[in-house]
Amino acid sequence: MTEREFLADSVEPVQPAGSGQPPKPLKSLGRRILGWLATFIGVILFFTFCLYLLFVVIPQGPEIALARGIGKDTSLTITKIAVDSVKVKKEIALLEKKIDKLTTQGPYLIVNTTDNRFYLYSGKELIREGRCSTGKNTRLIAKKRNYEFKTPRGVHTVQSKQKNPVWAKPDWAFIEEGLPIPPPGHESRFDAYTLGDYKLAIGDGYMVHGTLYKRRMGLPVTHGCIRLLDEDLEVVYNTMPIGSKVIIY
């Protein structure tokens, strides 16, 4: 190879200016951006797909399997024997009688503390229903002790009944009003108006009674007792003897 031929091979040819071709670096930048965008979208789609698999498909896996028949065979191996269907029918009729007998024959009161409603039944017959007020679910924090004002859920029994009851105010009634607590038996403890015309004691100091605050009927505002309107209270008082059930839920 001559020296001229060697130089012609080793030196790159120079592009003449204004030849019409775009500059190389710009073209590759555009392609790169497109590439990044495609990768970014791909990654986003991939992660969305993974999240979909994780939170939608996989938790549904057991149901998909059952729908496709995997583990469908749950049947116990029971070898059936001949049974006397008359006997069976009798047995079931007896069970139905037992269930029927479970419903109290006498009157009973059901109180719904969520909706503040009461239902007075006699056996299976609904005698009266209406609004009532139940516990306000607050905790009074005093110096010596705390008091919880809630209506106790469960089955209670009417333990005593009284016309024109006088309320012997407990300590919390004074604490709530910011008054000093009087000694037991003090005249300021007795209030002849607040409980209305009748009261039915259901144990632990809780009562079904009337109220002076009729506007708040249907709201959870009491200290745990069940307040009824005068007419409802009269019906409840006259219907429910001592020993009848008050069911609170």
Partner 1 sequence: MILGALSWLLISAMKAPHSFIEEFKTEMAGIKNNKVILSYPDDLLERKTRLDSRLAMSDDDSIGLRINLKEKFLYLEIKGIVLHKTPILEQKSSSFFKHLSVAEKYVLFHNPLTIQKDDATISKDQFQEVIAPKDTIEAAKMTEIIPDTTLTEPVMYRLYLNHGIRVQITGQLPDSIPQFWPRFRFDYRDRYKYLKELTRSVIRNKPAPYQPTISLVINSRDAEAIYRAVPKKGNVILEL
Compute how many residues bind partner 1; rule: CB under 8 A.
69
Q: Does 191 bind partner 1 (CB under 8 A)?
A: no
Q: How far apart are CA 157 and CA 207, in angstroms?
A: 11
| 128 beta partners | 120
Residue 91 or 230 having the CB closest to partner 1: 91
Which residues, other chains included, contact 57 with Cβ-Cβ below 8 Å and sequence gap of 6+? 64
DSSP H helices, the chain, are 3-10, 24-52, 61-67, 85-102, 171-176, 230-239
Residues 130-149 within binding reach of partner 1 (CB under 8 A): 136-143, 148
CB of 46: closest distance to partner 1 in angstroms?
8
Q: How far, in Å, are 25, 42, 63 from residue 49 at the CA level?
A: 36, 10, 20
Q: How far, in Å, are 25, 30, 81 from residue 19 at the CA level?
A: 16, 21, 100
Q: Does 55 bind partner 1 (CB under 8 A)?
A: yes
- Sign of CA pseudo-dihedral 154, 158, 162, 166: negative
Residue 121 or 198 having the CB closest to partner 1: 121
Instruction: Point out which span in 13-21, 85-93, 188-196, 228-236 binds partner 1 (CB under 8 A).
Output: 85-93
Q: Does 37 bind partner 1 (CB under 8 A)?
A: no
Q: Does 66 bind partner 1 (CB under 8 A)?
A: yes
Which residues, other chains included, contact 153 with Cβ-Cβ below 8 Å and sequence gap of 6+? 113, 248, 249
Write the burial class of residue 156 (CB in 10 Å: 0-12 exposed, 13-18 middle, 19+ buried): buried
Residue 40 or 213 having the CB closest to partner 1: 213
Q: Does 98 bind partner 1 (CB under 8 A)?
A: yes
CB of 118: closest distance to partner 1 in angstroms?
12
Which residues, other chains included, contact 23 with Cβ-Cβ below 8 Å and sequence gap of 6+? none
State which of residues 29, 43, 155, 212 lies at the interface with partner 1 (CB under 8 A).
155
Instruction: Point out which span in 53-61, 156-164, 192-200, 233-241 binds partner 1 (CB under 8 A).
Output: 53-61
Q: Does 126 bind partner 1 (CB under 8 A)?
A: no
Q: Does 173 bind partner 1 (CB under 8 A)?
A: no
Contacting residues toward partner 1, per CB under 8 A = 50, 53-55, 57-59, 61-67, 70-76, 78-83, 85, 88-89, 91-92, 95-96, 98-99, 102-104, 108, 110, 112-115, 136-143, 148, 150, 153-155, 175-179, 216, 219-221, 247, 249
